[in-house]
Chain A
Amino acid sequence: MGVSFDTPAENKKFAEKFHFTFPLICDTDRKIGTAYGANADPGKGAQRVGVVIDKDGKIKEWHARVDARAWPAEVLKTL
């Protein structure tokens, strides 16, 4: 799932443009970004943090910066 601090309207446009099949979470109060270490600069958007959570609800991988295009597809192949 993608996460940003954008509004639902902004993310809806984004999802429709690229025909995404996954949800884009609208973390407008930045709570999720803060909990996951992606809100280092409150004056800017989220950092490109990538996280894999295993089926037991534990962190499997946490990356400070991932390639938005390649990483999700790559990591999904490993699950």
Chain B
Amino acid sequence: MLNPGDKAPDFTGRDHNGNPVKLADFKGKAVVLWFYPKADTPG
């Protein structure tokens, strides 16, 4: 787990349209991430 004040681990990935997404691209903005187990499942 991560604790408040920890540096957020940088990441690069691709979104559902194949566009690259990097945490560094959001510098100066707040970012909300939420993880989910499987697309389109209730929970």
Contact = CB atoms under 8 A, between A and B. Distances in A.
Given A23-B21, A55-B28, A4 B35 contact: yes
Tell me if B's interface is mostly helix, strand, loop or mixed: loop
Interface of A: 1-4, 6, 8, 10-15, 17, 23-27, 31-33, 35-38, 44-55, 57-62, 64, 66, 68, 71-72, 75-76, 79
20 contacts: A3-B33, A11-B15, A14-B16, A14-B39, A23-B15, A24-B15, A25-B14, A31-B11, A32-B11, A35-B9, A35-B11, A38-B35, A46-B35, A50-B35, A51-B2, A52-B32, A55-B27, A62-B1, A68-B43, A72-B32
